Amino acid sequence: MTATDTGFEEVTAPLRAELLAHCYRMSGSASDAEDLVQETYLRAWKAFHRFEGRSSVRTWMYSIATNVCLSASKARRVLPVGLGGEPSNPLEPVAPSTEVLWLQPLPDAALGDPGEAAVAREGIGLAMVAALQVLPAKQRAALILRDVLAFSAAETAAALETSVASANSALQRARASIGGGAARDGRRATELSAHEREVWDEFCAAFERHDIDGVVRILAADATWEMPPIPGWYRGAEAIGELSRTQCPAQVAGDLRMIPTVCNGLPAAAMYLRSPAADGAAGAGGDVWLPFQLDVLTFTDGALTHVSAFLDPAPLFALAGLPASLGPVEPR
């Protein structure tokens, strides 16, 4: 490693977590955000010898990351509730849609140590990121840089490679578009009351017991549930119960295993589904529990009001530092 390489690593490595959060806000995808950060560091490393210090390294890296995200901008990512339409019938069969780019959650574990990555956790609530996706990419960038990261008008204009007037115009349009329309984010996991923590624990325990009535009891009466990439969404605790009874492949206690985790700063649960083990997995002839869905929970005024259950979650489990499979529980 050369002196230049060493210097680059020293000044840019501490920014990785917040740049990951920035690329996530811009893209709405944890998986894409990782790729965008890698591209950001590659471009920055190639240009480091030309960096003259006219701005801080942090501002320079954000400028590169923003332009990487703008260049890679795709159709907006959404959650099922964002598609509009009426709640779905829980008794109708579900089928995934590959025609929609779906929003992903961002596991907090991907951001590293809480103390070092505190700034990265600002503005990444699931509802906030979903609202940002409605904006055109340049307006989204202007709003994030100014209102989330507190960049100056001049710094924002430089990052967007445009004039201050143009950057301010994009910011004003973004603020007008979102206005008060961004859905309220739930309570952060670190701020839950004792009662909310009990509900979080019971949410996990009830699914492990295959106690659907228990799940229904802890949900708010008008709770909503969505399961990207399934395009439908469901309203009401009783309807959610019917959905679980009729559509979930789990049939008996022990089919599901739950591990509490945190995504987007919100309480969450990693759900594993029992599957017959292949040779060599979890012991010959035994069972193995594989990633099934990642549930992100929204608590509002002490009640569990919304669940976003992300299916096909293996890459997200890896980002969360969760095991790729679980073996049988050892008897006590």
Q: What is the pLDDT of residues 212-235, one digit of tens each?
A: 999 999 999 999 999 999 999 999
Residue 198: CB partners within 8 Å, gap ≥ 6? none
Indicate which CATH number applies to the domain containing 201.
Answer: 3.10.450.50
CA 147 to chain centre: 20
Q: At what angle do helices 3-12 and 57-71 cross, to 10 degrees?
A: 80
Q: Is residue 327 part of a domain?
A: no
Q: What is the DSSP string of 153-222?
A: HHHHHHHHTS-HHHHHHHHHHHHHHHTT-SPPP---GGG--HHHHHHHHHHHHHHHTT-HHHHHHHEEEE
Residue 3 has pLDDT above 60, yes or no: no
For 296, the enclosing helix (H) or strand (E) is strand 287-300
Q: Is residue 331 part of a domain?
A: no
Give the SS3 label for residue 145: helix
Range of the domain at 250: 189-319
- Do 12 and 160 have their domain in common? yes
- Do 7 and 149 have their domain in common? yes
Residue 201 has pLDDT above 90, yes or no: yes
Structure tokens belonging to residue 315: 């890459």
115-123 average pLDDT score: 61
Residue 282 has pLDDT above 50, yes or no: no
Eight-class DSSP state of 325: -
C-alpha distances in Å from residue 95, one per residue of 85, 226, 227, 311, 314: 17, 13, 10, 11, 19
Is residue 159 within 8 A of residue 67, CB to CB? The reply is yes
- Do 125 and 207 have their domain in common? no
Q: Pick the residue with more confidence: 113 or 48?
A: 48
Q: At what angle do helices 153-160 and 57-71 cross, to 10 degrees?
A: 50
Q: Is residue 236 part of a domain?
A: yes
Q: Average pLDDT of the chain? A: 90
- Do 233 and 304 have their domain in common? yes
- Do 81 and 225 have their domain in common? no
Structure tokens belonging to residue 239: 């309807």
Is residue 172 within 8 A of residue 146, CB to CB? The reply is no
- Do 249 and 122 have their domain in common? no
Q: Is residue 105 part of a domain?
A: yes
Q: What is the pLDDT of residue 120?
A: 65
Distance separating alpha carbons of residues 210 and 244, to the nearest angstrom: 10
Q: Is residue 315 part of a domain?
A: yes
Q: Which of 113, 145, 178 is the last residue of a domain?
A: 178
Q: What is the pLDDT of residue 280?
A: 44
Q: Which of 153, 178, 203 is the last residue of a domain?
A: 178
The pLDDT confidence band at residue 324, using thresholds 50, 70 and 90, is: very high
Q: Is residue 330 part of a domain?
A: no
Is residue 129 within 8 A of residue 25, CB to CB? The reply is yes
Q: Which residues partner with 14 through β-bridges? A: none
The region of weakest confidence among 107-111, 158-162, 300-304, 326-330 is: 326-330
- Do 154 and 194 have their domain in common? no
Q: Which of 130, 155, 178 is the last residue of a domain?
A: 178
- Do 202 and 301 have their domain in common? yes
Structure tokens belonging to residue 305: 């009001």
Distance separating alpha carbons of residues 182 and 147, to the nearest angstrom: 14
C-alpha distances in Å from residue 182, one per residue of 134, 149, 178: 10, 18, 6
Closest residue by Cα to residue 146 from 25, 40, 39? 25
- Do 129 and 213 have their domain in common? no
Q: Which residues partner with 275 through β-bridges? A: 288
- Do 154 and 245 have their domain in common? no
- Residue 319 neighbours by CB distance under 10 Å: 23
2-18 average pLDDT score: 82
Is residue 134 within 8 A of residue 111, CB to CB? The reply is no
Distance separating alpha carbons of residues 147 and 170, to the nearest angstrom: 12
The pLDDT confidence band at residue 244, using thresholds 50, 70 and 90, is: very high
The pLDDT confidence band at residue 64, using thresholds 50, 70 and 90, is: very high
Structure tokens belonging to residue 316: 């997200």
Is residue 4 within 8 A of residue 48, CB to CB? The reply is yes
The region of weakest confidence among 74-83, 115-124, 220-229 is: 115-124
Q: Is residue 332 part of a domain?
A: no
Residue 279 has pLDDT above 70, yes or no: no
- At 296-313, the pLDDT tens digits run 999 999 999 999 999 988
Q: Is residue 234 part of a domain?
A: yes
- Do 7 and 140 have their domain in common? yes
Residue 328 has pLDDT above 70, yes or no: yes
The region of weakest confidence among 112-126, 185-199, 241-255 is: 112-126
- Do 150 and 280 have their domain in common? no
Q: What is the pLDDT of residue 123?
A: 78
Residue 114 has pLDDT above 70, yes or no: no
> How many domains does one find in the chain?
2
